[in-house]
Structure 1
Amino acid sequence: MQIKNFKVNEGLKELTQHRTVELPMACYETTIQQNIHGYIPLHWHEEIQFVLIQKGEAVFQINEERIEVRKGEGLFINSGCLHMAEDEKQTGCVYICLNVSPHFLLSQELFTTYVTPYIQATNLPYVYIDAKELWGRNIIDAMLKIKQLLERKPQYFEIDINIQLTFIWKNLLFNRFQPEYVQKEMVKSQRMRQMLSFIHLHYAEKITLEDIARAGQLSRSECCRYFKRILKTTPLNYVIDYRIQQSLALLQQEESNVTEVAYQVGFNSTSYFIEKFRKLMNMTPLAYKKYKMEDGTDRGAICTNLLNESVYFGTNTKKFF
């Protein structure tokens, strides 16, 4: 199984370029368990996103809400919304992901009226796409047609894709979208991003609750409420978990050792780093390093060795839920 590293910047914006050579959009398959974290981490992007589950099921978190999506069902995730995905039941979930620049949906003359109000709406972080409804079936069929057009690239396929995207957007507007804009909700989202950005920039340094709260222009108690409500964890636990996630790539470097990595990601105690790493990853840092160093050899032998050490990779990874 190919392990992929999902990269975001300090502000949680995904760094992947969602486009083809010809078009400001991308369509690809995602297997959740192939990510280095075992799940798709919290992120956002300017593109709107359509998801269609092909195998298994997944739990998506969009802003503060969680939704379970099963095989044959879909999801629309709005531009700029924080979201993540997890294969909570270990179903081997695979989904089609269609990311589209909002400016590619309609012509410039129609964009202000039929796109802008909806991608800026604070009450529409996502829309569940029900395949049992006609509008939902229409969207899913159009997504599959777009995937096929991108794979085969027949003559004028760019025009055909644009037609399908317009059809998808029209179905959403006619059936689900009632846009509202609440300034308070926008401010809340901005403050959460500011606090997360501060953590991602300074995780290797000493960070206090006061530091995080100050970054979001909040009191300590309100800061804790934000993290509990949106990420289902505490600010300082998030810091610890983020440090562990950052240690994964460092541990894969052949010359690295556990103590050096612990200090590089902000821990001031190797034993504490090992304790927290084991709790999050269900294996020690050394076992993880051994696993990655031996990656590409006999997987059965590796897994047997790790199980003998009473550790197992990737089956019970902690999430920021």
Structure 2
Amino acid sequence: MQIITNNAGKELKKHGNNAFPFLVSYERLSGYETGSFLWHWHPEIELTYVKKGEMLYKVNQNTFHLKEGQALFGNANALHAGYMYQNQDCQYIPVTFDPKLIYGFSGSALFQKYTEPILRSFSLSAVLLDFSCDWHQDAVEDIRQMIRLDSLHPPMYEFEIIAHLQHFWKVLCSNTLAQAAAPSVQDEENYRRIRRIMSYIAEHYSEKILLDDIANLIHLSPSECSRLFKKCMNITLFGYIQEYRIEQSLDYLENSSCSITEAGLLSGFSDSNYYTKVFTKIKGCTPRQYRKKQEL
């Protein structure tokens, strides 16, 4: 299993339905082929509650260590990915919803005063709810109650979910709204550029990718392009391309009769020895060992 996205990294999964755009999912990192879910984004807000274990949760340039019982607020449109911590599995529950459930309509006071400032703030792309502040307890309890209501579906449960959702937002606003700096034009342009880069890599990962081509795509010099990607994603552009290619190669190793060499070639590695070296560095085992594990 892996998250399905378009070439721009936008997740294609529908979160709830038009009648009630709210979804609770039950996930474990071991359910993904890679033991991780890859970089993606979506216009909905996501509250992630860790039921068992620990995980590393990356949002834009930040990495959060989520532990059992803790939660994380992930803002709308933020790029995010999740990884195992020390190769241990993690069970987690994402609660994903359209922010319209909070504010109703775009001209409302709830939108203009309390929701839009947070939705547009890059400084609040994520908030770790780790009980280091007193208000985290209330926020996490609201998440737990929403999960409970969604599983039981008591009469008029939608009203109760929205009540907890709005209380969660009130608690969040009361404690973070002052930090919600309005995004600069440059911030918005930088993340548009990052998404263009990710889209280009998704389309061309099997080919030779040149830094000059990516830099030209976003109208920056090669050095500026590299600095921008590292600043926004906390990984080098070259490192991201390597990781992306390795993740794509897993499909060839698992679901085809491709040789190891062919799996590397189809994923953008022209040298099989180099493919094995990079694969081992990222995954902790050789491609051949990985394939054997999947066959067990």
TM-score by structure 2 length? 0.89
**Matched residue, 2:10:** 13
Indicate the SS of the match to 1:117.
helix
Aligned residue among 41, 46, 50 for 1:44: 41
**Aligned partner letter, 2:119:** I
**Aligned partner letter, 1:242:** Y
**Matched residue, 2:57:** 60
**Matched residue, 2:187:** 185
Indicate the SS of the match to 1:8.
coil
CA shift digits 1:76-128 (9 cap, x unpaired): 11111112222323443322211111112222233344322220122211122
Unpaired runs of 5+ in structure 2?
A: none
In 2, the alpha carbon distance for the partners of 1:150 and 1:132 equals 27
Q: Tell me how large the CA RMSD over aligned residues is.
A: 2.1
1:120 lines up with 2:120 in the alignment: yes
In 2, the alpha carbon distance for the partners of 1:204 and 1:216 equals 21
**Aligned partner letter, 1:144:** R
1:156 lines up with 2:153 in the alignment: no
Aligned residue among 89, 102, 115 for 1:105: 102
**Aligned partner letter, 1:257:** S
Deviation larger for 241-250 or 81-90: 81-90
| 1:134, distance to aligned residue in structure 2 (A) | 4.5
In 2, the alpha carbon distance for the partners of 1:246 and 1:228 equals 22
Aligned residue among 241, 244, 254 for 2:243: 241
In 1, the alpha carbon distance for the partners of 2:226 and 2:133 equals 40
**Aligned partner letter, 2:76:** S
Matches within 5 A, 1:1-321: 4-19=1-16, 23-108=20-105, 109=108, 110-131=110-131, 133-178=133-178, 179-181=180-182, 182-292=184-294, 294-295=295-296
**Aligned partner letter, 1:80:** N
The answer to whether the Cα contact below 8 Å between 1:6 and 1:36 also exists between their aligned partners in 2 is no
Identity of aligned residues (%): 29
Indicate the SS of the match to 1:37.
coil
In 1, the alpha carbon distance for the partners of 2:275 and 2:227 equals 26
Task: Say how many residue pairs are matched.
Answer: 291
TM-score by structure 1 length? 0.83
Unpaired runs of 5+ in structure 1?
A: 296-321
**Aligned partner letter, 1:267:** F
> Against the structure 1 CA distance between its residues 51 and 33, is the aligned structure 2 distance closer, same or farther, given a 3 Å change threshold?
same
